[in-house]
Structures are given as C-alpha cells and as structure tokens.
Amino acid sequence: MTPHPTVSVSTAAAGRTAGSGADGRTIAPFGRRRLAVTGRREHGAYVVLSAADPDGPAPDAGQFYMLAAATRWGGGTDERPFLPRAFSVARRHPGGTLDFLLESVGPGTERLSELRPGDELWVLGPLGRGFVAPRDGRRPLLVGGGVGIAPLAIWQDMLGGGAPALLGFRDAAHAEGAALLRDARVATDDGSRGHHGLVTALLEAGLGRGVSASGPRKLGPADDGTWEVYACGPPPMLEAVRALCAEAGVPAQLALESGMACGFGACFGCVVPTRAGYVRLCVDGPVLDAAELELVA
C-alpha cells in the first residue's frame, strides 16, 4: 500500500496572503479594470478565454470575476446582455494571465465566446469566498460537472498534486474540457467517453460505496473515507454529491452558481437557502460547506 501523498497547499491557496481581507478572502481592487484578451482556445464545446491581469491579485481557487465585453455588450438575443456575467477563474498563469472557461449558452456567453486576442474585457474581481484547505489531513477529491470543472482546475494547481478529479459531461465534445485537469476520470451521459453514466457513480466508487464488478473502479487508498470532496457543477449534481458525502460522513465544499447582477453584495439577487436562511452567494459563497446546506435546490 502506497502512503498517502502529502498535500501541500500554497499560502495563496489558503487565502491568507498579505492583502487578504479580515475574513481571509483575497480582496479585489476597487473598480472594474479593462483587460486585453490574450488567448482563445477551444476545447470541444468549451472556450478558454485568457486575459492579461498583471496588476491584479492572485485569486483564491473558487473565487470568481464579473466579466463583460468592453464593446458590443448588448444587442444579442432580446437586446441582451446588459449585466456582467460571473465566472470562476479556471487558472492563473505566472505573470497574472487569467483563464476563464466558457460555454456559449446565452447572449452573455455568446458574446464573450466571440472575443479574440486584442479585444478587451471589463473585469471585476476576484470576488467571493473560495475553497479552503482540507481539514484534518484529509485527501482532496475533486468532483466536477460540465463548465463547473473550472474552479477545480486552479484548485488542483494550488493543491500541487495528489488531488484526483472525477468529471462528468454530457458527451465527448464536452468531455474535451477534461484536458484542463490532471489525474481525471471521466463520465459522460451518453457513454461517448469514459464511464457511461453520472459522475456521481464515480464518486460512489471513490467513497467505497456501490462498487460492483461492472461498475467504476475504486480510486485507491483514501477509499476508506478520508477524502474531502470539492465539487462544482449543475445543482442536481451538487445535490447528489452533498447527499452522498453526508451519508458517507465525508466533508464537502460545494461551489454553487446563481444568477447575479453585481457580484459584490449590492443587489441581494443571488441568494440561496441555507440552514441559516438565505445567503448571498457572491459575498458568502460561491463556495459553501455542504454542512451549511439542507439541500442544493
């Protein structure tokens, strides 16, 4: 039996660097900044948009930015978009280049997907509260669905190894997004790549449950339940992850999504129900401890 790899979390990952706020989050510069798009890479159904942010702070994994194209923001379907759109940062490169993972599913993401190097972007961030290091020496296990894999990529970078990823996609075209992470097992809804089924089947196996000869293989030494799960994806997936982890007694940190107008606590529009009542996902999330939630709705 191989020993558990040591998990080292950089100080940036833990969000306790100089310039951090009193509550540990990395503070955003006050005001949106106009950044140059420096790259656009297609991964099947997704686009990775890169922007140079040399003067911006290094974000915590799980933090997000509000993005809007600097020109022609509006005039799409129903003359939208009007408001900026929230995106978890997918990666930060040395020198400050930020990567965002997009899928064109509406007027905002459609316009952002059109941007090419040399175009400009309004950016506000980093915003919100991100992931925190695993507790009690637990081993991180990343569970992502669709475009929700984005914050897991930067978290895997910061964790520095020993964080396997279980990723679920609709089909093979979407599963090309898996290239953003290392040590990934893939499930697709239509079986065109990897396990035919839901990513939660991979998680069940990872948690040492529901393992059968025909099912997904176990993950390894931490299958005894010493994982800490980090998940981001569509609400039904997050709810299934929450329920599985609760049943297995495994702690989980969930990055949720909600429509938001501002991203910095002004509009009160992005609330989600928790055991303590509604919380604004933009300032109290987007990462919430699964124990705070009755249910991911």
Partner 1 sequence: MTVSFLGLELRHPVTNASGTFDALAARAVFGDALLADFPFAAFVTKTVTTAPRQGNPPPRLWELGAGMINSIGLPNKGVEGFLAEDLPRLAELPVPLVVNVMGSSPEEVAALVRAFAERGEVAGLELNVSCPNVKTGLLMGAEPGETAALLEAVRPCTDKPLIVKLTPNCAEPAAVAAAAEAHGADAVSLINTVRGTAMHPGRPGEAWLGGGSGGVSGPAVRAVALAQVREVRGRVAIPIVGMGGVQSGRHARDLLDAGADLVAVGTETFRDPRAGSRIAAELAGIGAKSGTDSGVFTAPRSDFAHNV
> Tokens in use for 49?
């948009």
Residue with structure tokens 């081993």? 139
Cα distance between residue 32 and residue 49, in whole Å: 18
Of 159 and 260, which has the nearer Cβ to partner 1?
Answer: 260
Beta carbon of residue 23, minimum distance to partner 1 (angstroms, whole number): 6
Beta carbon of residue 262, minimum distance to partner 1 (angstroms, whole number): 4
Beta carbon of residue 212, minimum distance to partner 1 (angstroms, whole number): 36
Of 162 and 264, which has the nearer Cβ to partner 1?
Answer: 264
Cα distance between residue 294 and residue 242, in whole Å: 9
Beta carbon of residue 213, minimum distance to partner 1 (angstroms, whole number): 40
> Tokens in use for 98?
């930020």
Cis peptide, bond prior to residue 126, ω within 30 of zero: yes
> Tokens in use for 3?
């020993």
Beta carbon of residue 66, minimum distance to partner 1 (angstroms, whole number): 8
Of 49 and 66, which has the nearer Cβ to partner 1?
Answer: 66
CA atoms within 13 A on the CB side of 131: 33
Of 74 and 137, which has the nearer Cβ to partner 1?
Answer: 74
Transcribe 45-95 into DSSP letters.
Answer: TEEEEEEE-TTSPPPPTT-EEEEEESS--S-SGGG---S-EEEEEEEE-TT
Of 27 and 291, which has the nearer Cβ to partner 1?
Answer: 27
Beta carbon of residue 25, minimum distance to partner 1 (angstroms, whole number): 7
Of 228 and 284, which has the nearer Cβ to partner 1?
Answer: 284
Residue with structure tokens 């599913």? 105
Of 191 and 259, which has the nearer Cβ to partner 1?
Answer: 259
Beta carbon of residue 239, minimum distance to partner 1 (angstroms, whole number): 16
> Tokens in use for 75?
């005039």
Cα distance between residue 218 and residue 70, in whole Å: 47
Beta carbon of residue 278, minimum distance to partner 1 (angstroms, whole number): 6
Of 123 and 166, which has the nearer Cβ to partner 1?
Answer: 123
Binding site for partner 1 (CB under 8 A): 21-23, 25, 27-32, 68, 74, 78-84, 122, 124, 127, 258-262, 264-273, 277-278, 280, 283
